[in-house]
Amino acid sequence: MSFLEKVCKEYGIDLYPLSVFSPVKGMEDFITRSKGGASIKDSEGDISIAIDDTAPARERDAIAAHELGHVILGHLDGKYKLSEEQCENEARLFSAVIIAMSLYDKYRSYIKAEF
């Protein structure tokens, strides 16, 4: 289980392969779709993230981070009047920071082990 899969589990977010993900009709306003992934909040408030299961593992982590960004930044809540482009830019930035932080933690572990 990857770091991001653990985070999603802690947030109670279900992860699905994109190939079996079929949004509920009428819920399109609560869905974000990106290349390789999608996130959805259903009528009961449950959140799911779908990830392209054919993508390499590192890419799946980036997709999960991007979709998690949509969730944590409130893009599925419909409260914020951001354009789709603004939401995508925020999710991209969120994903980049999460991936960089995870690499930094690995780098710090490597440095501690070496010196």
Output the 3-class SS for the chain. Answer: CCHHHHHHHHCCCEEEEHHHCCCCCCCHHHEEEECCEEEEECCCCCEEEEECCCCCHHHHHHHHHHHHHHHHCCCCCCCCCCCHHHHHHHHHHHHHHHHHHHHHHHHHHHHHHHC
Q: Is 91 in the site for Zn ion (CB under 5 A)?
A: yes
Nearest CB to Zn ion, comparing residues 85 and 114: 85
Q: Cα torsion at 96, 102, 103, 107 (round to 10°)? A: 150
Q: Is 38 in the site for Zn ion (CB under 5 A)?
A: no
> From residue 5 to residue 24, what is the string marking binding to Zn ion with x (rule CB under 5 A)?
--------------------
Q: Is 76 in the site for Zn ion (CB under 5 A)?
A: no
Q: Which stretch binds Zn ion (CB under 5 A): 17-25, 31-39, 43-51, 102-110?
A: 31-39
Q: Which stretch binds Zn ion (CB under 5 A): 3-11, 15-23, 46-54, 83-91?
A: 83-91
Q: Is 71 in the site for Zn ion (CB under 5 A)?
A: no
Q: Is 34 in the site for Zn ion (CB under 5 A)?
A: yes
Residues in contact with Zn ion by the rule CB under 5 A: 32, 34, 88, 91
